[in-house]
Amino acid sequence: MSSNKEIAVRVLDAVGGKENVNSVVHCATRLRFKLKDEHKADTARLNQDDDVIQVVQSGGQYQVVIGSHVSDVYRELNGVANFDGEADSKGDKGNLLNQLVDIISSIFTPFLGAMAGAGVLKGFLTLAVTLNWLAADSGVYTVLYAIADGLFTYLPVMLAFTAAKKFRTNEFLAVSLAMALVHPDITALAGQTLSFLGLPVIIGASAYTSSVIPIILAVFLQSYVERFFKKVIPSFLQIICVPLAVFLIMAPLTFIVVGPLGTILGNLLGSAYDSIYHFSPLIAGAVMGGLWQVFVMFGMHWGFVPIIMLNLSQTGVDTMVPMLLPAVLSQGGAALAVFFMTKNVKLKGLALSSTITSIFGITEPTVYGVTLPLKKPFIAACISGALGGAFIGFSQVENYTFGLVSLLSLPSFIPQDTKDLSGLIAASIGTAIAFGAAFVLTFFLRFEDQPATDASVAPAKEPAAPTESSSKERVILSSPLEGKVVPLAEVKDQVFSSGALGKGIAIEPTVGALYAPADGTITTLFPTGHAVGLTTTDGAEVLMHIGMDTVELDGKGFEVFVKQDDQVKRGDLLVKFDLDTIKAAGLSTITPIVVTNTPQYLDVMDMNQTDVLQGEDFLAIVK
């Protein structure tokens, strides 16, 4: 395995270099890039890197899954490129959902590890008191509880710092606002109303300790207030006058408007979740247990983090985390089954290590390295997660502290006041159901094993002559375009639609750029740039014809980046073309991609996609 610095250098180069990065953060297992142009990233190269588990393009982020040592790689990445949160934030922000996901992940990710550690410690302290291992008034309990509970009590302070970095405003001014919200004089007035120059200041029943939304909204507004005063105050006065102006504006604004508004929004969000949960805890558990890993894959899981935090801050209990535990452990059960079933030594080792990491709440290596590539184990894990989640939902298990969802979460299901173990027992049963069902179901569904790659598993005797089915190999082409997939039969050109030129598929592009679908040589290049022929290193002859009858444009709107006989790599830019120019001429932009030497192969198959991103697996050529 390469050093963390070597990994960082390769990843940075593959995503297009520092100049292509708007921002980068990391979570438990992945680097989350916001790139200026995702087409400049070499996704194929990253996916082939032994130190990269997978690349995920979701939620407006370009996510490079590294594994549990991602923080070390991120540190080296900062050392190489000196990002440290200073990357340019301009560029394509995506839709509103993508922006919200990006904001939430950027704010919570930096201290997720500390929050998970504190939550697990708090749960184990409760278990220790319940089993009479520790006395609640002992010095050991008091000291450890202070660190376990302190982070959650003063959560607004942590959120203020990370939100300030996200919104690019002064972190220490933001932290000062948060400290005001949790100041003892303010918390002592919980449930009361003050007067500020005749205006009412409403302090909620629980004040603002452990709150989430108020401080995030306050820091967001602070970023605008601070920028305004930096424009109007002379530079030689800014060091004192800007902070003073921010305090004088933001302190009353936060307590009079933002704080109560944030509390109202939090209550509405909490009430909406409660309504759904109480409609049917069993259905809620089945849905969350079955789909949680799907949410994680698309980055949507960050949208649930504020709900969990709100549940805990408003009522002291949360019902969502227990329902997620089966989803996490079921991936481990499926991976363990793969360990026993596969003949591939490398996959066997990855499956065993992934089983262990999933027990501790890290599922990305399991999902992207084992269950998802094999497909059926992932399906088995999702079904089993739904079963375990339904049982836990039906049992109405409650969680009393935040932490990374893992087997270590179980003690956090014990209430501190009653020391009732029923929640822990029900959660343990539900988790065991999910783990065991995933293990058994993976054996039942089976999967297409990867070929053995180690000499130790080679047969000792002379192998029999291969049959047609056993000798099949596949060459995978990546999509040269981004757009909507169109069956070749629907192309309004008889030569292409009839398959006379070969099997393939067509794309109606949404971005005017054509890229190499594989490593190879440019063997056909029309001067007009409207058609490119590539012979891959595997011998496949691929013709890409941009639009229909676009030869009539005589090269207008086309910019060619390669020459005849050029050697190209998968993902290299071949041609840029102006979609508006083609449409203005009344021509179709639908682009057929066909394998012209199809008769030399057993089959050329598409992958049943409706929309495709450039660089995604697109066509499979069966030898």
The helix or strand, by DSSP H or E, that contains position 78, with its residue range, turns out to be helix 70-81
The alpha-carbon radius of gyration of the chain (Å, integer) is 28
The residues, ordered by sequence, that sit 6+ positions from 89 with a Cβ below 8 Å of its Cβ are 22, 23, 168
The answer to whether the beta carbons of residues 311 and 317 sit under 8 Å apart is yes
Q: State the Cα–Cα distance between residues 174 and 191, nearest whole angstrom.
A: 24
Q: What is the DSSP letter of 479?
A: P
User: At 343, which amino acid appears?
Assistant: K
The residue whose two tokens read 């750029």 is 513
Which of 94, 20, 27, 83 is CA-nearest to residue 59?
94
Q: State the Cα–Cα distance between residues 378 and 293, nearest whole angstrom.
A: 9
Structure tokens at 39: 């087409």
- Give catalytic status of residue 241 as yes or no: no
CA atoms lying within 13 Å on the CB side of residue 61: 31
The answer to whether the beta carbons of residues 474 and 409 sit under 8 Å apart is no
Q: Are strands 617-622 and 531-536 parallel, antiparallel or unpaired?
A: unpaired
The residues, ordered by sequence, that sit 6+ positions from 174 with a Cβ below 8 Å of its Cβ are 160, 161, 163, 164, 215, 218, 219, 222
The answer to whether the beta carbons of residues 177 and 215 sit under 8 Å apart is yes
Q: State the Cα–Cα distance between residues 457 and 31, nearest whole angstrom.
A: 35
**Catalytic residue selected from 8, 12, 15, 27:** 27
Q: State the Cα–Cα distance between residues 383 and 368, nearest whole angstrom.
A: 18
Distance of CA 508 to the CA centre of its chain: 27
Structure tokens at 474: 């596949």
- Rounded to a whole number, what is the distance in angstroms from the first to the last CA of the chain? 32
The residue whose two tokens read 């990305």 is 364
Q: State the Cα–Cα distance between residues 326 and 53, nearest whole angstrom.
A: 23
The answer to whether the beta carbons of residues 477 and 612 sit under 8 Å apart is no
Query: What residues are annotated to the active site?
Result: 27
